Amino acid sequence: MTAAAQRWPTARRRRGGVDVAAAANLVAELTTYLSAAFALPTAAALWYGESPWPFAGAAAITLAAGLGVGRATRGRERVGLREGFLVVSLTWLVAAAVGALPYLLSGEEQLSSPIDAYFEAMSGFTTTGSSVLTDIPDLPRSLLLWRQLTQWLGGMGIIVLALAVLPRLRVGGRQLFQSEAPGPEVEPLSASIRSTARRLWLLYLALTVAEVAALSAVAVTDLDPEMTFFDALAHALTTMPTGGFSPRGRSLEEFGAATQWVVIAFMVLAGANFGLMYVALVRRDGRALLGNEEVRLYLLLLALAAAVLAVDLGAHGVAAGEHAVRAGAFQAVAIMTTTGYASADFAVWPALAAAVLVGLMFVGGTAASTAGSVKVVRHLLIGRILRRELDQTVHPEIVEPIRLQRMPVEERTVRAVIAFFLLYVTLFAAGTLVLMFDSEIGGLGLAPFEAVAAAATTLGNVGPALGPAGPMGSFQPFGDASKIVMILLMWLGRLEIVPVIVLFTVRYWRK
């Protein structure tokens, strides 16, 4: 063995440009730890007297597969910059597969097709909230809880969680963190990524507990007779990750005004910057949060959208008074933060309201939130980039940095934002076309705007669409090809496109 080969043990064995085995090794390790997540539904199954075997079986399969792949690729632990993208992308594909296991093992008729089970699991982990179920309350409670839990695990990110707890990821974690964390640049809360990840998860956990408490309080004080502790837990698990799954057949419509207002408040929090919220809480100073340009625009857009919806609902006599305000606020917040709950069947709302909601699917929350979609900061930056372009046509020599919070933004980041937006729009358009095409062939009879909504809702990780896949409907009628396309859109959307799409370039795999 030459000296060089000794210094770089993987260099000799690596053939292509990417060390797939090393990436697989890390994904296998992460998967192994994921099997621990089955503890909660197993316990719930025993508590409710339901069968725990789907979860025990899924845990066993996950553990065996994880350990097996880990053993086969032992000694290949060096994950570099390139492998990072592969690790992040694969982890989410594998996590969705793991999530689908209990659905298949339970023998539940609604999820008996592997594609349906995988769709439901991918929709869970990516916190989308689109569902192929047609009769949700029919599922065993333990399985419903697992469905909620997948969203909670996916919300702050599987890899961010791993960074917080796994010692192995101390090296090279920064890049993995940036690939998975939402927004163009998540500012680390501390010099170490590990403690940043810990703080984010801690706040996430604390907010979830707070929502369980708030909803339980609604139940205990009898403000809402529908609310139970199970509902409180189930909804807290899908509000904070802006997920949108509900164990109820008609989502939040089944609950009263008190519950809906509490959920609105927590959805607004879930779509806001967790890093800034952490700073605001620790320093007991709200200025860090409310002085942030993006957070201000986020709140402004929410208020504006809520007002437009309320007025439109009032004008068409769909709702009036407090009900109109609440329905408008709830739906605007639920869609813009990409949560995807519904407090009414907005698929039958007037055209303006429907158009506003589909528009909101492209907005999203702030950077470093659990929300999906384009995100407010990118819209803000794109607005400023356009303003600069116009200025430069009149004054060709002007040198004008794009600023965010008064700080200049690097041109590289500016380009990345433009590229992201173009990729986003392209994928959305391509997705819409494929859905239309499949619907024409398969005889689903999707209206063009419904295809637009379905592509936008899955790519933005929102949840409900319009038409048959509306908030009270189901994605069940879509053909398999459409479902696969939507699975891909959810996956791309959650990882903010770029880490996934580089895998499909030739140069990524070359030396």
> Given the rule CB under 8 A, which residues bind other proteins?
395-401, 403, 406, 408
Alpha-carbon span 413 to 253, nearest angstrom: 41
User: H helices of 221-273, where?
Assistant: 229-239, 257-270
Give Cα separations from 438 to 161, 431, 441, 452 (angstroms): 38, 11, 5, 13
| Spatial contact of 355 and 380, defined as CB atoms under 8 Å apart | no
Q: Which is nearer to other proteins, 317 or 396 (CB)?
A: 396
Nearer to other proteins, 7 or 406 (CB): 406
Q: Which residues contact 154 (CB under 8 A, 6 or more apart)?
A: 95, 124, 125, 126, 127, 241, 243, 494
- Smallest distance, other proteins to C-beta of residue 273, A: 23
The residue among 185 and 345 lying less far from other proteins, judged by its C-beta, is 185
For residue 5, give the amino acid letter: A
Buried b (16+ CB within 10 A) or exposed e, 349-381: bbeebbebbbebbbbbbbbbbbbbbbbbbbbbb
Classify residue 406 as exposed, middle or buried by CB count within 10 Å of its CB (0-12, 13-18, 19+).
Answer: exposed
Q: Which residue has the tokens 């509306």?
A: 470
Least Cβ distance, residue 399 to other proteins (angstroms): 4
Nearest distance from C-beta of residue 292 to other proteins, angstroms: 17
Nearer to other proteins by Cβ, of 3 and 399: the residue is 399
Residue 410 CB, shortest distance to other proteins, in Å, is: 10
Q: How far is the CB of 404 from other proteins (least distance, A)?
A: 12
Q: What is the bridge-based pairing of β-strands 402-404 and 407-409?
A: antiparallel
Residues belonging to the chain: 511
- Measured from the CB of residue 381, what is the shortest distance to other proteins in angstroms? 16
Tell me the C-alpha distance between 486 and 477, whole Å: 13
Let me know: does 152 contact 161? Beta carbons within 8 Å: no
Which CB sits closer to other proteins, 284 or 395? 395
> What tokens does 80 get?
């570099």
CB of 413 to other proteins, least distance (A): 13
Least CB distance to other proteins at residue 461 (A): 35
Pair 105, 145: CB distance under 8 Å: no
Q: Closest separation between CB of residue 392 and other proteins, Å?
A: 11
